[in-house]
Structure 1
Amino acid sequence: MNVSAEAGGANLDIAKLAVAALLLIGGIFAFYYFAAYSALLRVIGLLAISGGAAAIALQTQPGRRLWQFVSDARMEVRKVVWPTRQETVQTTLVVMVMVVIVGLVLWLFDMVLMAILRFLTGQGG
C-alpha cells in the first residue's frame, strides 16, 4: 500500500512539474507574441508567470530538495570567514608581483631558446 502511495505522489510531482514547464513555456511565448505592447508590461508578466511556475515546481519533492540544498548552501556561506580589506590588497599585490616575475622569467627563457635555435639553424647572421 505504501508503494502505491509513493507512486501516486511521484505521478503528482510529474504532473506539477509538467504544469510548471508548460506555464513557463506559455509565458515565454506570450512575451514574444505580444511584442507590440510595452516591454515593461511584458517583463512584469513574464516575471509573474515565472514566479508562479517556480512556486508550483517547489511544491514537488525535487523542488523541496532543491530548496533545502539552497538553504544549506546559504548557511555554509554564512560560516565562511571572509578576508579583510588589508588581506585582500596584500594578496592581490603578491599575485601581481608574481605574475610580473614569472612573465620576465618566461620571456628570458624564450629569448635564450630563440638564441639557441638561431645558432643551430644558422639564421643569426
Structure 2
Amino acid sequence: MNSRVEQSDSAGDIVKYVLALVLVAAGLFAFYWFEGQWPNVARVLSAGGGVVAGVVVFLTSRKGAQVREFLSESRFELRKVVWPKRQEATRTTWVVILVVVAISLLLAFFDVIVQAAVKWLLAR
C-alpha cells in the first residue's frame, strides 16, 4: 500500500456514509416491515437493492476509493501466488491428519496418566 498522510473525511464523504447506511437500513427495514404483505421475492430484492445501493454510494467516497485500491492490489498479489498441485496438496493433507492423530493420542495418554495420578492421590 502507499504511505500517504491520512486526511480527515470531508463533509461530502460523511453525507455519503450516512446515505449508504440509510439505504442499507431502508432495504432491511422493507424486508422485515412488509413480511406477509409482499411476496418473498420482492422483499429479498428490496433488501438486496438497499445493500447494493449502499455499497455503490460508499464506493464513491474517499474510503470507498481506498477499499477499491486495496481490493485491486490484493487481486494483483493473488496472481503471484503459486498454488500447490493436487498431489502436493493431498500429501500435505495426509501429513496434517497423521500429525493431528499422533498428537491426539499423545494427549490422551497424558490425560490417562494424570487422571490415574489424581485418583491415586485422592484415594490415599
Quickly say closer, same or farther: Cα 1:121–1:34, change in 2 above 3 A. closer
Which residue in the other structure is 1:41 paired with? 42
After TM superposition, which residue ranges in structure 1, 4 or more long, deviate above 6 angstroms? none
Preserved contact between residue 25 and residue 50 of structure 2 (Cα < 8 Å): no
Give the fraction of aligned pairs with identical amino acids, expressed as a percent. 34
Kindly provide the CA deviation profile for residues 10-59 of structure 1, in whole angstroms up to 9, marking residues without a partner as x.
11111121112112211211111211211111111221222222111111
Residues 66-77 of structure 1 correspond to what in structure 2 (within 5 A)?
A: 66-77=67-78
Structure number having the greater helix percentage: 1
TM-score by length of 1: 0.78
Q: 1:119 to 1:78 in 2, by over 3 A?
A: same
Alignment partner of 1:41: what SS?
Answer: helix
Instruction: Assess, with a 3 A threshold, how the Cα gap between structure 1 residues 49 and 111 changes in structure 2: closer, same or farther.
Output: closer
Aligned-residue offset at 1:77: 1.7
Specify the alignment match of 1:3 in structure 2.
none
For residue 4 of structure 2, what is the aligned residue in structure 1? Answer: none
Instruction: Compare CA radii of gyration and give the structure with the larger one.
Output: 1
- The one-letter code of the counterpart of 1:11 is A
The TM-score normalised by the length of structure 2 is 0.79
Task: Call closer, same or farther: CA 1:26–1:111 in 2, change over 3 Å.
Answer: closer
1:29 counterpart residue number? 29
State the partner residue of 1:58: 59
Cross-structure match for 1:88: 89
Q: How many residues align structurally?
A: 117
What amino acid maps onto 2:29 in structure 1?
A: F
Alpha-carbon offset, residue 103 of structure 1: 2.1
Structure 1: any 5+ residue segments left out of the alignment? 1-5
Distance 1:49 1:55 in 2: 10
